[in-house]
Amino acid sequence: MSATVEETTELAPRLPADNLRRAVRIGICGLGTVGSGTVNVMARNGEEIAARCGRPVEIVQVGARRDNAACDTSKLNVTREIFDVADNPDVDILVELIGGTTVARELVLAAINNGKHIVTANKALIAEHGNELFAAAAEKGVTIAYEAAVAGGIPIIKSLREGLVGNRIQWLAGIINGTGNYILTEMRDKGRSFAEALAQAQELGYAEADPTFDVEGIDAAHKLVIMASLAFAMPLAFDKVYTEGISGVSSEDIRYADELGYRIKHLGIARRTEHGVELRVHPTLIPQRRLIANVNGVMNAVLVNGDAVGPTLYYGAGAGAEATASAVIADIVDVARTLEAKPDQRVPAAGVAEGSQAGPQVLPMDEVVTSYYLRISAHDKPGVMSQVAKICSDQGISIEALIQHEPAEGEALVPVVILTSRAKEARLREAVAQIEALDTVEGEVVRIRVETLG
């Protein structure tokens, strides 16, 4: 500690030879993208990690149905039966990296039952079964850590649960699905259609063959509900999230948004209101000047607004073998450090002490108040605009901005783009239904919510 800068030229820290703490022993289940990334980073940075952790971190077992050429397990103890790891008395921490919600749930419960701590990257598991798993862990005096489950390598769980602990969080909004953000970025930068951009994402390995989870917002909803539970100290409420995907976003809307000074991003938004917590995932227009509007490609970012700190933003890679491993290892070190501590000396999995959770209502979507972007295909006849304005005004909605270009040569339909004032969803929905029923309007009205995030 008192060494001066000149004394050594060592570039990496190293545990002293007389270190007395025994190694923490981890067992990794699943050797896919994240599992192999974790093995590789632990091997490469093992000495430094031990010095930071204050004790060596040892992989005592790996459970994998087959080898993965991406990492070298020749010196590791590999079992083909993942439940062996949950039963291995030498394992202190089981690292669950198999994904899914059925076998993973059983595996985690088995390990908890055997008194093991859990580190997981599995957002689906936490979002859908977290309440049950946290209760089981609390009962056994062990912890469940899940930094890697949200926004990959960005330490957002730690920031929400520890770094911002002095705040009442008012709202948070995140770009928390890299695939979706990649697609929207490609659509804007290269004028591609949704289908083209998706195909491109699949080619590059950013999107799965079945892209539903990413593109329809389910993955983002998993992550949102985890962040909201920490921000508002409430139970995980995955089934209460309103979820809308990006497959309906057109490059035309992206262009109009640009013209109005906005970008379209797929956001997960959680907000505390007097009547309950908003939980929603949907495409959103946000002002171009906001930092988060400029988060592009596969990158993730979460904007968190606390009553003391104001807005803070966390940005980084939301996926990838080593970025996710970074979060897994941070969790391992946290657990390792307090392995012998009393349960109440650890940061609680749910962010608040046992029995302290609040239970705010989730606000029904009809009650949510936002502004809207509307794109109407209207016949080029006088009177359309006054009809639309009348319908809106009857619902207490005013028109804040409007774009109406000349109709294209030979086109009977002209796109009318409107930004509305803030109004309840129910009002908006009613107005849109009435607009769609007009003789002068063709087909469905395109609607995308607008947030200023100010």
Ligand X SMILES: NC(=O)c1ccc[n+]([C@@H]2O[C@H](COP(=O)([O-])OP(=O)(O)OC[C@H]3O[C@@H](n4cnc5c(N)ncnc54)[C@H](OP(=O)(O)O)[C@@H]3O)[C@@H](O)[C@H]2O)c1
- Binding positions for NADP(+) are 29-36
Closest distance to ligand X from the beta carbon of 125 (Å)? 7
Closest distance to a copy of itself from the beta carbon of 410 (Å)? 39
Binders of ligand X in range 309-368 (CB under 6 A): 319-320, 324
Among a copy of itself, ligand X, none, partner that 98 touches (CB below 5 to 8 angstroms by kind): ligand X
The secondary element (H helix, E strand) that includes residue 299 is strand 299-306
Residue with Cβ nearer a copy of itself (245 or 318): 318
- Which residue of the set 116, 223, 240, 265 is catalytic? 223
The tokens of 358 are what? 């609040």
When asked if residue 233 is in the footprint of ligand X (CB under 6 A), the reply is no
Residue with Cβ nearer a copy of itself (159 or 179): 159
When asked if residue 33 is in the footprint of ligand X (CB under 6 A), the reply is yes
| Residue from the set 23, 32, 48, 68 that interacts with a copy of itself by CB under 8 A | 48
> Quick check: is 390 catalytic?
no
| Residue from the set 2, 16, 66, 439 that interacts with ligand X by CB under 6 A | 66
Q: Decide: 52 and 326 in contact? Cβ < 8 Å.
A: no
CB-CB neighbours of 39 under 10 Å: 23
| Residue from the set 256, 262, 315, 372 that interacts with a copy of itself by CB under 8 A | 315
The DSSP secondary structure of 197-236, one letter per residue, reads HHHHHHHTTSS-SS-HHHHTTHHHHHHHHHHHHHHTT---
Residue whose token pair is 């502004």: 371
CB-CB neighbours of 307 under 10 Å: 12
Strand pairing partners for 424? 369
- Cα separation of 84 and 107, whole Å? 10
| Residue from the set 68, 73, 79, 338 that interacts with a copy of itself by CB under 8 A | 338
Which region, judged by CB under 8 A, interacts with a copy of itself, from 116-124, 172-180, 344-352, 370-378? Answer: 344-352
Residue with Cβ nearer a copy of itself (54 or 407): 54
To 5 degrees, how large is the angle CA 258–CA 262–CA 265? 105
- What residues are designated binding site for NADPH? 123
- Cα separation of 45 and 48, whole Å? 6
When asked if residue 435 is in the footprint of ligand X (CB under 6 A), the reply is no
Among ligand X, a copy of itself, none, partner that 167 touches (CB below 5 to 8 angstroms by kind): a copy of itself
Closest distance to a copy of itself from the beta carbon of 397 (Å)? 28
CA distances from 409 to 5, 118, 202, 413, 441 (A): 73, 63, 37, 10, 19
| Residue from the set 272, 280, 282, 449 that interacts with a copy of itself by CB under 8 A | 272
Q: Decide: 118 and 112 in contact? Cβ < 8 Å.
A: yes
Closest distance to a copy of itself from the beta carbon of 301 (Å)? 8
When asked if residue 69 is in the footprint of a copy of itself (CB under 8 A), the reply is no
| Residue from the set 143, 181, 185, 357 that interacts with a copy of itself by CB under 8 A | 357
Query: Of the candidates 122, 25, 34, which has an alpha carbon nearest to the alpha carbon of residue 326?
Result: 34
To 5 degrees, how large is the angle CA 189–CA 319–CA 201? 40
* Residues catalogued as catalytic: 223
